[in-house]
Amino acid sequence: MKPAMETAAEENTEQSQEKKGCFECCIKCLGGVPYASLVATILCFSGVALFCGCGHVALTGTVSILEQHFSTNTSDHALLSEVIQLMQYVIYGIASFFFLYGIILLAEGFYTTSAVKELHGEFKTTACGRCISGMFVFLTYVLGVAWLGVFGFSAVPVFMFYNIWSSCEVIKSLQTNMTASGDQICVDIRQYGIIPWNAIPGRACGPVLENICNTNEFYMSYHLFIVACAGAGATVIALLIYMMATTYNYAVLKFKSREDCCTKF
């Protein structure tokens, strides 16, 4: 029979070893988490959701504003309506694609990071595994450049709505100070090329322009376009993080494969 104190000491030793084993296991698992890819995925999902959701509603409000105030003839903006409807369908496709692509990149980040840290995933150090990683690097670079164009394109309606809003602020300032009449301050939408030059009325001046700025459609569309532009910018940042993470992992895997090759000989 062992003394009670020796038995208790052995039990405490076993418990401490179990705790140490669980702690080491947790540290090992946390070491395989691709934090850069995780942050990029969250940022990408948020940016795409803001861009697609706000952009879709803002485009609908823009058509309503044009039909009511700048182009009363349906034939003048028929082509624009079709283009906007097509853009809304494209937005659906973008949202679906990036939801799937973000999940794939996150999974690839988990697998590659585990292989880099030598936890598991020897497939990544093979030629086929490196080829798949290189494909993701190239595709992410292409998507990053494409989203730079999307970000620039999304800034165009923000610029247009800002010009209208600033003109309305000038009219309000003139009315408040009673220095001059704002009837001569106009905004001509035809100069942006979204409706033809023969569209009627095509422009709004003075009180008519001020009333447009006070509508809910203008207020909502203006702010939604700003949020959509910010979402596109967030997506660009997320893809830049993806680029850095995937490029680094690919370089490390390529170095490890050469190191393993040299070690065999």
Residues 119-134: what's their mean pLDDT? Answer: 61
> What's the pLDDT tens digit per position in 63-119?
888 888 887 777 777 777 788 888 888 888 888 888 888 888 777 777 766 655 554
- For residue 234, what pLDDT is reported? 92
- Fill in the DSSP letter of residue 22: H
Burial of residue 46 (CB within 10 Å: 0-12, 13-18, 19+) is: middle
pLDDT of residue 224: 93
**How does pLDDT run across 240-254, given as a tens digit for each residue?**
988 887 787 777 767
If you average pLDDT over residues 13-36, what whole number do you get?
57
pTM equals 0.78
pLDDT tens-digit readout, 157-168: 899 899 889 888
Token digits of residue 23: 């702690």
C-beta separation of 48 from 95 below 8 A: yes
Question: Does residue 27 have a pLDDT over 80?
Answer: no
Domain ranges across the chain: 35-154+217-264
pLDDT tens track for 46-67: 999 999 889 888 888 888 888 8
Q: Which of 100, 112, 98, 104 is nearest to 144 (CA)?
A: 98
